[in-house]
Amino acid sequence: MSNTHSKRSTLIAASLAIGLLVAPLTEAAEQLRIGYQKSSTLISLLKSQGTLEKALADQDITISWHEFPNGQPLLEALNVGNIDLSADVADTVPVFAQAAGADLAYFAQEAPSPSAQAIIVREDSPIKTLADLKGKKVAVTKAAGVHYLLIAALNKAGLKFSDIEPAYLTPADGRAAFENRKVDAWVTWEPFLSGAQQQLPTRILADGKGLADYQRYYLTSAKFAKSHPQVLQTVFAELVKTGDWLRANPRQAAEILGPLWGNLDPAIVEKANAKRSYQVRLVQPDSLAEQQKIADAFYGASLLPTSVDAREVSIWSPQ
């Protein structure tokens, strides 16, 4: 083999090796990893319609979607860098993430929807008031918005969290336990709430009105917020548009979401969505007062390992 041919082969091999090293890095830099859950309505609509992919195409960004059973594992994935952006989670979830040392950044918030979560019992249950929950087994998803609703409701009835027996379950497992009478009450949120009301004989013991605002937050890491402000700008704009579209087209939205929510009847989906504001807005520092109330309530009930300053987070805003 000639020296020239040998050198050319070496160069080609080196180029291929460099290409193999560079390609995954380039691909990772161009991929936005979004985590969501079933109740992440607006993100689910964007995903099903391909709207966000189109909006981010001119920034050469592709999207990978990652579904989680509820908000706590979703923000744990954000904290360890397995996803870049979290779809909406209930207001309690960031508080738990902060207590775990997560370096979070809020980039959007949905206006309060207090009636989109409730404590329910079976229609024939002897439990008639919140005070009757004393000594009872209550299904609740740990760190979800309903966890705070339960604390606030018990407090209103003069009870402590330790006065009940919590069964920490995902929404699907909570529904099964409630349906099979393994628990006395279930605290849940939309669309699981409307689904249960439609399919089982239930009564609402209390919803969030006057107890818990139930604001949902969209989050990323502080690092990602600093390095990708344009991506967040695009996502925020699309969320605002999608919220406006859903409110203007409730039935059409329900027909898209029904199959994604376990083939729920569109009428049930529409009823569930009517309890959510879907008004996407920027996060203001003074709006974190409710977050502080939540943090203090959990710490006071010995459910957080440390006290949390709800203002010790980054807040993204458009440039």
How does the average pLDDT of the chain come out, rounded? 91
Quick one: pLDDT at residue 287? 83
User: Does 191 sit behind a cis peptide bond, omega within 30 degrees of 0 on the bond before it?
Assistant: yes
Quick one: pLDDT at residue 81? 95
Check pLDDT > 90 for residue 146.
yes
Mapped onto helix, strand or coil, the DSSP state of residue 156 is helix
Quick one: pLDDT at residue 30? 81
Name the pLDDT band for 140 (thresholds 50, 70, 90): very high
Of the candidate CATH numbers 3.20.20.70, 3.40.50.300, 3.60.150.10, 3.40.190.10, the domain formed by 30-112+215-315 belongs to 3.40.190.10
Determine the topology of domain 117-207 in CATH.
D-Maltodextrin-Binding Protein; domain 2 (3.40.190)
pLDDT 10s digits, 295-313 = 999 999 999 999 999 999 9
pLDDT 10s digits, 260-284 = 998 899 999 999 999 999 999 999 9
Per-residue pLDDT averaged across 185-191, rounded?
Answer: 96
Per-residue pLDDT averaged across 231-239, rounded?
Answer: 97
Name the pLDDT band for 319 (thresholds 50, 70, 90): confident
Quick one: pLDDT at residue 10? 45
Check pLDDT > 70 for residue 66.
yes
| Whole-structure pTM value | 0.85
Per-residue pLDDT averaged across 158-171, rounded?
Answer: 97
Name the pLDDT band for 148 (thresholds 50, 70, 90): very high
Residue extent(s) of CATH 3.40.190.10 domains in the chain:
30-112+215-315, 117-207
Name the pLDDT band for 9 (thresholds 50, 70, 90): very low
Q: Do the Cβ atoms of 97 and 142 come closer than 8 Å?
A: no
Check pLDDT > 90 for residue 316.
yes
Phi, psi angle pair for 191, to nearest 5°: -90, 0
What does the alpha-carbon distance between residue 153 and residue 206 come to, in Å, rounded to a whole number?
8
Name the pLDDT band for 11 (thresholds 50, 70, 90): very low
Check pLDDT > 50 for residue 73.
yes
Check pLDDT > 90 for residue 132.
yes
Q: Do the Cβ atoms of 100 and 78 come closer than 8 Å?
A: no
Check pLDDT > 60 for residue 7.
no
Backbone dihedral region for residue 42 (phi beyond 0: left; psi -120 to 50: alpha; all else: beta): alpha
Per-residue pLDDT averaged across 22-44, rounded?
Answer: 76
First-to-final CA distance of the chain = 60
Quick one: pLDDT at residue 262? 86
Quick one: pLDDT at residue 29? 47
pLDDT 10s digits, 87-113 = 999 999 999 999 999 999 999 999 999
Q: Do the Cβ atoms of 316 and 220 come closer than 8 Å?
A: yes
More confident residue, 209 or 5: 209
Q: Which of 4-8, 198-202, 232-236 has the lowest mean pLDDT?
A: 4-8
What does the alpha-carbon distance between residue 127 and residue 131 come to, in Å, rounded to a whole number?
9
